[in-house]
Amino acid sequence: MKKTIFLLVLTILLAGGAVAQKTSKQTVLSSEVQSSVDPTDIDINPKSKMGFLGKENAAANMDVMNNLLRGNSFVMISDERDSPSSLTVSMDFTPVDGEPGSYTVTSGSWTLVVYENGVYVGAIYGNVTEGTVTDTIDGGTGETAIRSMKATFQITGGMERYADVQSSANITYSSVTDYLDGKNTSATVLNLL
């Protein structure tokens, strides 16, 4: 529970920071323009394909008793400069017998905080229902160099404008984390809404 709260707070801070980094022309609107912006007129449907960049913020911890790696977590922001949305993902996975560096996703959670034209419009969240994790090992060090993840997301709820959102089929997540480059992560989410 503490990790989930931490991830949500971190997501909000990252998204807020990205919005604050816009140029003064984009962020400082005259009072006439500010009063003319009506949040109900903003298109709130995210695109069917969204790209994200971010970091692995928590490595998976091995639960030896259950042969399970828990809590591999990521915080990312969309590559949309005008409307940066943020995505947090946390997954648990178990090793595939006889296949070093291969894992099966057993569970997890995700949250997408959506902004349109710099205005918060809501959040969508859910479970990670299945997937695979593949590690590419650095031959020189024996350590993980690249981690590739593919998973299926299920929507379990939403907030604000997404309070009544219905799950769509085949929401797919894929990401690559480069452990040789500071755990930088790039991800794609397809068919979210």
pLDDT score recorded for residue 170:
67
Q: Which two tokens stand for residue 64?
A: 């030896």
DSSP helix/strand/coil, 85: coil
pLDDT score recorded for residue 11:
43
Record the pTM.
0.71
DSSP helix/strand/coil, 88: strand
Q: Which two tokens stand for residue 123?
A: 């959040």
- Listed in sequence order, the DSSP H helices in 28-144 are 31-36
Residue 69, beta-bridge partner list: 62, 93
136 to each of 8, 39, 59, 101, 103, how far by Cα in Å? 30, 45, 16, 7, 12
pLDDT score recorded for residue 17:
41
Q: In tens digits, what is the pLDDT along the chain, a chain of 193 residues?
A: 444 443 444 444 444 443 333 322 222 222 333 333 343 443 445 456 788 999 999 989 999 999 999 999 999 998 876 677 899 999 999 999 999 899 999 999 999 998 888 889 999 999 999 999 999 988 888 888 999 999 999 998 899 998 888 766 568 899 999 988 889 898 888 876 5
Distance CA 146, CA 98 (A): 20
| Beta strand 184-190 pairing with 102-116 | unpaired
pLDDT score recorded for residue 82:
67
Ramachandran bin of 122, using left for φ above 0, alpha for ψ from -120 to 50, beta for the remaining angles: left
Domain residue extents for the chain: 2-190
Number of CB atoms found within 10 A of residue 167's CB:
14
> Is residue 53 a contact partner of residue 92, using CB atoms and an 8 Å limit?
no
